[in-house]
Structure 1
Amino acid sequence: MAEEGRAPHPLTAAREARGLNRGQFADAIRKAARRRGLRSGVDRARVRKWEIDGVRPDAVSQTYIAEVLEVPVEEVDPRSWPAWVPPVDQGAVPLGHASTVPALREALHTMDRRTLLSAIPGSALVILAGSWAGTEPAALASDHPRPGAPVGEDVVTLLEETSARLNALATEQRQHIAPLYDAHLARITDLIDEGRYTRPLGVRLHNLAASLSQTVAWIRFDHGQHSAASRYWIAGLHSAHAGNDRDMGAALLSDLAYQASWRHDPSTAAGILTKALRRTTHPAASALLHLRLARAQAALGERRATLSAINTAERLLGTGDPGDVPAWCSWMSPADLAVDSGQALLDLGDTHRAHELIREGQAALPASRIKTYGVFTTYQAKSYLEPGKPEEAAAAATEALDLALRIGAPRCVELVHDLVPRFAAFPDAAGVPELLARTAT
C-alpha cells in the first residue's frame, strides 16, 4: 500500500495492480533473473527503497521489473525511470443509462500493455451491487433502428449459436482459442453500439454480451488476471441490466463475490451477495448465491448466519421449474452443495463433518467437470490437514496438482501452492517431501 499522505509511486501502483505485495514482487524479480541463469539479490527491503526512498534500480533490475510487469524490453529506458512504468487504470463504469457499451469496451481493452489495471475496491463493488438492486433498467432502443442496414434475425441467431458453442467448450480447451472469445464479444459490442436493431433483437444482443462476458471473465480469473476478470463481470452486469435479465445480473454479481472470497475479502463478498439476493428470482439462482454467501460468512466466523444460508441453499436447490433453470447455474448439484457446505464448516472448525461432506460431494461430481474436481480435491487436502493427517492431505494435493497441470488450470495450481506452507510441519510424512520438492519453484 502507498504511504499515508503521499501519492503512490508508479511502481507501487503497477505492483499492486498485479496483486503483489513487496515480498511477492521481489520473488518474481528473482525468478526473472533465474530464467536467464542469473541471480538477483532483490528483496522486500530493496523494493521499498525503490518505491519510498526514491532509489533508482540498476539497469539490469529494471529489465527484470519490466518482465514482471509484462513490458517489452525495447520500451525500457533505464535513464527515464520510472517514466516507462505503465500507468494504472482504476475504477468501474457506474451503472446507468447508456453505460453498456463503455463498460464492454473497457473490459475489451484490459489487455493493453501500456495500461495496467488496479483492483477495483471492494466498497465500489458493493455500491455497484446496491445500484443494480435498486435501479430499474433504462428502455432499450425502440422499434425504429438507426439509419443503415438493420441487423436481422438470422445474424443474431448465428451469433447466439456461436456463443453457445464457445460457452459449452470444456474449460481446459478454452485456453487454445481464448482470442476468439474476445473477438466474438467485440463484434457483438459493435453491433450494440451501432443500434441498428429492433427492441427484441436488442434484448437478445445484450443477453449475448452478458453471457459471453461471464465466460471471458472466468477464463481471465482462472489464469490469475483478476482485474481484467472483474471488468468483464462488470461489463456483463451492465449488459444484463440493459436486457432486464435480473437472474443473469445476480449471477455476475455472485461471480464478483466469489472472486472477493477467493482473494480473502469475505466482507466484500457478503456485501455484494446480500444486495444481489434482493433481485434474484429463480430458486436455483438463489440457492447458488446463498451457498456462496455461506462461504463468505463462514470466513467471517459468523456461525449462525452460515448455517442459515446453507439451510436456505439446501431447501431451494431442486425446486422451481427445472425447464426454466438459468444456464449459468444449471450445473449446480447436490455435489456442489455438499463440498461448499463442507468448506464452510471447515472454516468454522467442524472438521469431522466438513471432511464427510467434501468427500461425499467429490465422489458425486460428474466426470465432465474435471476442473471442479481438481478444486474439490484441494479442499479435500485442506480438510485432511485440519485434523493432522498429512499423508492423506499430501496424496490429495498431489492428485490435484497432477490434474491441474494436465488440463492447464492455473487457479487449481495456485490452490495447491497456497496449502504448501502448512505441509512444512510434517516434513517426514509420506508424500510430503515429494510434494514440497515439486512446488519449490
Structure 2
Amino acid sequence: MSEQLHRTISLDELGWPEDGLEVAPASAGLDLPWSSAGALQAAEVVNESGEMMHRRMFITLLGSALTSPAHEWLIAQSPQDIASTTGRPLSGKVVDHLDAVTASLRRMDDHLGSGQTLGLVRQHLSTVVGVLRGRSYSDSIGRRLHATAGELLRLAGWLSFDGGHHIQAQRFWIAGLYQANAAGDRGLGANILGFMSCQAKDLGQLRQAVTLAETARASYPATSPRVATILDLRAAEAYANNRSVTDTRRALDNAFGRFTDSRPEHGDPDWSYWINEAQAHAQAGYCFVKLGDWPRARDHLRTALRLQGNEYTREGALRNALLATTYVQQEQPELDKALALGDQAVQTLTGQVTSARCIKHVRNLVGSLAPYQRTSAVRRFFQDAKDLIAM
C-alpha cells in the first residue's frame, strides 16, 4: 500500500497493534544450506500447513525478496552424492509410480484449476518427502526423488499463484529451487524461475520479472527445445509488461523458432507437455494485448482457440477473456463479439474451473466495458459476471 500510494502507511492506520508484529521476507525460514538435507528441510518447512503464516507476522514480497533466491540457486553447487542408507532400499519402479501420480495431478489442474487440486498436490508431496526421509536409495534414485519433489513444489506454487496466494506460491518455489539443485536439474530450476517471473509481473514488479526471466534463460543449457520455448515465452511476457516492443518480439521469434525443433530425441521433460502450439500462440496473444497491438493479439488468440478445440479449460477461459478485450479496446469496438467471448469465459470459470488469475482478466474485461454500460447487453453481462468477479 505504501508503494502504490507513494507515502508511508503506518500500522496504526490499518488498525494493527504496533507491538509484537514481526515483518519478514517470503523466504523466512528458508535460509538453508544448498545440500540434499537443506532441500529436504525446505520441502518440509513449506508444506506444513500455516507455518510462518500466523496472525502476528506480515510477510513482504517485493524487490530483492523476489530475485535473491534466484541468484543463490544460480551460484549454488549441486551436492556430489545424495545417496541415503536409512531404512529399506527403494527401487526405481517406485519413483516411476510417484512420477505417474505427479503427471496425473498436472493434468488434473488443467481441467479443475487451483482450488480443487492443491490439497492433493500437498498430500503427494508429503509422500515423496517421507520416502526421501525414510528410505535408502542410490545417488541416481535420490536425484530423481528430489526432482519429483521439486516439480510438486513448482506445481503447488503455481496452484497457489493461480489462486491469488502469492506469498505461499513464493515459498513453494523457493523450496523447489532447493530440490532442483539437489537433483542437479537445471531445466527444473529454470522453469521455476520462469514461474517466479510470471508472478513478479502480476505483482507489478516489472524489473524483477525481467531479471528472473533472463536468469532462467541464461541458466539453462537449452538441451530441450520445449523448455527453451517456455523460457523465451516467459521473457516475452516480462518484456511486454515492461512495454519493451523490440525485446518482446525478439523473445517471441526465439520461442516460435525453437518450438519447430521439438523432435522426440531431445528428451523433453514430462512437465513441459503443456507447451504446445495453442499455448505458444496464447502467450504471444497476451504479449500483444499488453503492448496494445490489438490486430496481432487477435490473430494469435484466435489461433490458440482454434487449436484448443472445444475443451473447457482454465486456459480457454483466459484466451476468451483476452480476445474479448481486444474487441473492446480496438478503435471501433465490436461489443457483440466481445460479449459472446466474455460469456464463454464466465461460463467456464463459474461451472468448470477455479482460477483467481483468470477471474482477474474477466474483471479487467468488465472494466474495459464500463463506458458502454448504458447498452442493455453490456448491463446483462455485468449482471452475469457479478458473482464471479466479486470472488
SS of residue matched to 1:96: coil
Name 2:286's counterpart in structure 1: 343
TM-score w.r.t. the length of structure 2 is 0.84
Name 2:213's counterpart in structure 1: 273
The change in CA–CA distance for 1:82 and 1:136 in structure 2 (over 3 A counts) is closer
Q: Distance in 2 between matches of 1:110 and 1:118?
A: 16
Match of 2:154 among 206, 214, 230: 214
The yes-or-no answer on 1:284 pairing with 2:226 is: yes
Q: Which amino acid aligns with 2:328?
A: L
Name 2:34's counterpart in structure 1: 96
The yes-or-no answer on 1:169 pairing with 2:108 is: yes
Match of 1:301 among 243, 257, 280: 243
Match of 2:46 among 91, 94, 107: 107
Match of 1:438 among 375, 380, 384: 384
Name 1:59's counterpart in structure 2: none
Q: Distance in 1 between matches of 2:18 and 2:72?
A: 38
Deviations 1:126-179 (A, max 9, x none): 22223323333122324xx33443334454343333333333325344644643
Name 2:90's counterpart in structure 1: 151
The yes-or-no answer on 1:365 pairing with 2:308 is: yes
Deviations 1:285-324 (A, max 9, x none): 1111111211211221211111111111111113143251
The change in CA–CA distance for 1:222 and 1:135 in structure 2 (over 3 A counts) is same
Match of 1:424 among 357, 363, 370: 370
Larger-Rg structure: 1
Deviations 1:56-83 (A, max 9, x none): xxxxxxxxxxxxxxxxxxxxxxxxx688
Q: Which runs of 5+ in 2 are unaligned?
A: none
- State the number of aligned residues: 372
Mean CA deviation greater in 403-412 or 116-125: 116-125
Q: Compute the RMSD of aligned alpha carbons.
A: 2.9
The change in CA–CA distance for 1:259 and 1:5 in structure 2 (over 3 A counts) is closer
Name 1:313's counterpart in structure 2: 255
The 5 Å alignment of 1:61-210 reads: 90-92=25-27, 93-94=30-31, 96-97=34-35, 98-112=37-51, 114-115=54-55, 118-142=59-83, 145-173=84-112, 175-176=115-116, 178-194=118-134, 196-210=136-150
* Greater RCO, CA 8 A, separation 6+: 2
The yes-or-no answer on 1:355 pairing with 2:308 is: no
Deviation at 1:417, TM superposition (A): 1.4
The 5 Å alignment of 1:31-42 reads: none
Q: Distance in 1 between matches of 2:206 and 2:7?
A: 28
Name 1:378's counterpart in structure 2: 321
Deviation at 1:213, TM superposition (A): 1.4
The change in CA–CA distance for 1:348 and 1:408 in structure 2 (over 3 A counts) is closer
Assess if the C-alpha contact under 8 Å between 1:241 and 1:249 holds in 2.
yes
The change in CA–CA distance for 1:307 and 1:2 in structure 2 (over 3 A counts) is closer
Q: Which amino acid aligns with 1:132?
A: W
Name 2:198's counterpart in structure 1: 258
The change in CA–CA distance for 1:177 and 1:330 in structure 2 (over 3 A counts) is closer
Deviations 1:350-391 (A, max 9, x none): 222222222122211244472111111111112112113333
Deviation at 1:253, TM superposition (A): 0.9
Deviations 1:39-68 (A, max 9, x none): xxxxxxxxx3625xxxxxxxxxxxxxxxxx
